[in-house]
């Protein structure tokens, strides 16, 4: 029988397994501390668990970790991690230090951009992640592990002090103190893949990362980005967690959006905006529109009025992002003054908007780029 990974398990699932094993409940808490606080990668490191229990755990579950295949970027700038999964596939996570409040959150210390699939089936014309199509969904633990693996990497860096205990005050679970010093305190689900197309695994992973007994990262500090899967946006609105939602809009009319995002033919703007309305009604929180500016495609001023109308109706904030070139694709970023003009035209219409100077543009930080490059190099080798 195929074993499940221990970091794909919810608290309830672990409690029920421990119960059938006749293990006391406090053992679950000890296990969780080893997994999410100490981030151990071997069963035998769990020194306060009896050997017999460790053997039962090893028999019943895998304890999977991600292998760091490549890393780019300096310590104080955006850093990109390329991880190899079991089976060999590559995924990316990007660590963005001291992020200014991009999605309405408070300015934070460390944001991690997390992948949810190997490749992507949605084939947006400008994006590196979709170039080779979709290979598979990530399992919950492979999403969770991106956070733990980056923190494990950091803990091994010479000269870096240990994270301060006050970084995250985590509520104890039923009386048990679980002191967590989380290095990563914000997540953006904007790496490779379409998160809402891997809905169940994503939600399970985010519940683990959010839970006081797991990652302890507040739901309001987790932003899920989608290319516009309207039914899943509604489903997300019905969940109890208060995640932030970002919509990759990139076009304010169906004509422009259809040109670059095939998903718009399935869920055109009328359906997408109705789903956003619903999200907003249920959650009462601000949505963010991401709008990549691509030269000659969606950067003309005729997009500004429809974009402003949509943003106003949905109380959305607009993040303008100059396009990051992708090898093999013909798209280009507009000149700086074109981006500035677009921004000021939006602001004149009283829309809250920011123009991002893409961090990490020089290290292939746009989603899917490092993986594509590495696979290309491996193919040549
Ligand atoms: N599939 C989801 C999340 C991953 S993509 C989504 O589409 O929202 C995360 C963001 O990166 C999206 O807004 C996407 O449009 C953007 N992106 C992709 N390729 C890019 C590029 N070359 N330059 C700038 N942004 C890019
Ligand atoms: Fe997939 Fe998002 Fe890239 Fe579109 S932009 S291909 S949905 S990862």
Residue-wise pLDDT for 237-251, tens only, equals 999 999 999 999 999
**Cα 344 to middle of ligand 1, angstroms:** 23
CATH dotted code for 4-62: 1.10.150.530
Using CA positions, which residue lies closest to atom 1 of ligand 1? 194
- In this prediction, residue 104 carries a pLDDT of 59
- In this prediction, residue 293 carries a pLDDT of 96
- In this prediction, residue 45 carries a pLDDT of 98
DSSP of 61-122: EE----EEEEEES-TTS-EEEEEEPTTS-EEEEEEEES---SSSSPP-SEEEE---EEE-SS
From 78, 91, 127, give the residue whose CB has the most ligand 1 atoms within 8 Å, as the site to mutate: 127
Q: Which ligand has the shortest distance to the CA of 123?
A: 2
- pLDDT category at 99 given cuts 50, 70, 90 is low
CB 221 within 8 A of CB 242: no
Distance, CA of 224 to CA of 220 (rounded, Å):
10
CB 276 within 8 A of CB 287: yes
The pLDDT tens digits for 178-233 are 345 688 989 999 999 999 999 999 999 999 999 999 999 999 999 999 999 999 99
**Cα 312 to middle of ligand 1, angstroms:** 23
- In this prediction, residue 369 carries a pLDDT of 57
- In this prediction, residue 215 carries a pLDDT of 97
Q: What is the dihedral of CA 39, 67, 123, 205, to 10 degrees?
A: -20
Would the pLDDT of 75 be above 60?
Answer: yes
> Which residues are designated catalytic?
92, 367
Ligand 1 pocket, residue 188 CB under 6 Å: no
CB 316 within 8 A of CB 310: yes
Helix (H) or strand (E) run with residue 189 in it: strand 186-189
**Cα 178 to middle of ligand 2, angstroms:** 37
The pLDDT tens digits for 39-57 are 999 999 999 999 999 999 9
- In this prediction, residue 327 carries a pLDDT of 85
**Cα 48 to middle of ligand 1, angstroms:** 44
Least confident of 29-43, 199-213, 352-366: 352-366
Is the Cα dihedral 193, 195, 196, 199 positive or negative? positive
Ligand 1 pocket, residue 324 CB under 6 Å: yes
Instruction: Provide the pairing of β-strand 316-322 with 353-355.
Output: parallel
Q: Which residue has the tokens 């893409």?
A: 358
Would the pLDDT of 14 be above 60?
Answer: yes
- In this prediction, residue 2 carries a pLDDT of 85
Distance, CA of 310 to CA of 304 (rounded, Å):
10
User: What are the structural domain ranges in the chain?
Assistant: 4-62, 67-380
Using CA positions, which residue lies closest to atom 22 of ligand 1? 324
Using CA positions, which residue lies closest to atom 18 of ligand 1? 127
Choose which CATH entry (3.20.20.70, 3.30.230.10, 3.60.110.10, 1.10.260.40) describes domain 67-380. 3.20.20.70
């Amino acid at each position: 029988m195929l074993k499940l990974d221990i970091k794909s398990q919810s608290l309830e699932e672990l409690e029920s397994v421990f119960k059938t094993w006749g293990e006391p409940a406090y053992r679950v808490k000890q296990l969780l501390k080893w997994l999410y606080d100490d981030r151990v990668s071997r069963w035998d490191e769990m020194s306060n668990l009896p050997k017999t229990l460790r053997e039962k755990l090893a028999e019943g579950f895998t304890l999977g970790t991600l292998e760091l295949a490549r890393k780019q970027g300096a310590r104080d700038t955006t850093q990109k991690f390329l991880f190899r999964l079991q089976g060999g596939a590559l995924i990316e996570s990007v660590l963005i230090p001291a992020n200014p409040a991009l999605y309405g959150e408070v300015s934070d210390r460390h944001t991690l951009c997390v992948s949810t699939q190997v490749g992507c089936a949605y084939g947006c014309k400008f994006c590196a992640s979709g170039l080779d199509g979709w290979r598979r969904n990530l399992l919950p633990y492979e999403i969770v592990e991106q956070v733990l693996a980056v923190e494990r990497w950091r803990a091994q860096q010479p000269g870096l002090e240990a994270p301060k205990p006050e970084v995250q005050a985590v509520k104890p679970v039923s009386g048990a103190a679980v002191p967590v010093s989380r290095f990563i305190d914000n997540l953006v689900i904007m790496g490779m893949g379409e998160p809402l197309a891997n809905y169940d695994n994503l939600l399970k992973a985010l519940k683990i990362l959010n839970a006081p007994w797991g990652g302890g990262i507040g739901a309001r500090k987790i932003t899920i980005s989608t290319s516009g899967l309207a039914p899943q946006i509604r489903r997300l609105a019905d969940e109890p967690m208060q995640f932030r939602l970002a919509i990759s809009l990139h076009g304010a009319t169906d004509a422009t959006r259809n040109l670059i995002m095939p998903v718009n033919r399935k869920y055109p703007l009328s359906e997408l905006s109705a789903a956003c309305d619903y999200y907003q009604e249920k959650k009462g929180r601000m949505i963010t529109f991401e709008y990549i500016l691509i030269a000659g495609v969606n950067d003309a001023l005729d997009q500004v009025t429809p974009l402003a109308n949509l943003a106003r109706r949905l109380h959305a904030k607009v993040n303008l992002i100059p396009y990051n070139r992708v090898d093999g694709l013909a798209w280009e970023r507009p000149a700086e003054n074109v981006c500035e003009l677009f921004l000021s035209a939006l602001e004149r219409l009283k829309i809250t908007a920011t123009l991002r100077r893409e961090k990490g543009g020089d290290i292939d930080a746009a989603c899917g780029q490092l993986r594509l490059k590495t696979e290309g190099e491996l193919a040549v080798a």
